[in-house]
Amino acid sequence: MAINNKKSVLKQRLKHLMQWLLFLTIAIALAISLRLFLFAKFSIPTPSMEPAIKAGDQVIVSKLTPGARIITNFFSMKNSEEAQLKRTPGFAIKRNDVLIFNFPYSEWHRITIDMNLFYAKRCVAIPGDTFYIENGIYKVKHSIDTLGCYENQQHLSGRKESDFDPAVYHCFPHDEHYSWNIKNFGPLYIPQKEDDLSIDTRNIVLYKNLIEYETRKAISTKDEQVFMADSLITTYKFTKNYYFMAGDYVFDSKDSRYWGLLPEDHIVGKVAFVWNTKNKETGKVSWDRFLKRVN
């Protein structure tokens, strides 16, 4: 009888252990799924998005906009292969969404995707928009939306060129045919997937990096003509959507004004709210920013 009781107790304990292991496995799987498909946490190290996001903020990012990215060649990346990505269905990106994305220009002459380098900026123009800056104010053709931090743009409007270092004042595409700067920029058309654009030796400087990123073929010009590898091109149909990203602190932000357009596959998600902020001087939590929505 004592032996049977011991077997019964052991069996019961084993049952409880299996239940806890199952619960733990489900919890881990759920946590991983949430991290992969729904949410992520990021720390913001710079003030380029102030006042919406402050340096030191920890933010929660929703991957539902524009949908979670799945790396399809995860095990090949150890051989220095660039990540190949697919995206789950999600919500469309809108103007003024604050996004986390992989910086596209770790190498300035071409677009790459650095999976370890993240930026936070505001989307001020979406695919199909024509974006421009007029005396410091951000605008999209045929739209009355207020884009980004209007107050900072007003301050920019009142400043002179001499107030800025030339490297800060002058902008993309850094070409003699375009005298764009942080106060007067564009107009720049933002390509969307399936757009069939006319290409010439003037506008190719705006889209060269995008086309080379999509095709993995070199673009060159000769005798007022544009070539992709050895083939003459006069039009190009884009296969990806692109976005114009800008920091709210317009005086000090390494954004699309300097490096150009952001491919959609670089986007991680939309910043939803501030999770935690610590005061730099005291080290204490700034409770006034706890769960503050980012608009």
Task: Tell me the pLDDT tens digit for each residue of 196-209.
Answer: 999 999 999 999 99
DSSP result, 81-130: PPPPEEE---PPP-TT-EEEEE-S-SBTTB----TT-EEEEEEEE-TT-E
What is d(CA 127, CA 118) in angstroms, rounded to the nearest whole number?
Answer: 21
CATH homologous superfamily for the domain 38-195+238-289: Umud Fragment, subunit A (2.10.109.10)
Given a cut of 90, whether residue 123 has pLDDT beyond it is: yes
pLDDT given at position 32: 67
Return the domain boundaries, the chain. 1-37, 38-195+238-289
pLDDT digit string (tens) for 73-99? 766 556 667 778 889 999 999 999 999
Given a cut of 70, whether residue 62 has pLDDT beyond it is: yes
DSSP state of 214: H
Q: Tokens 């920890």 label which residue? A: 58
Q: For the residues 209-226, what does the mean pLDDT come to? A: 96
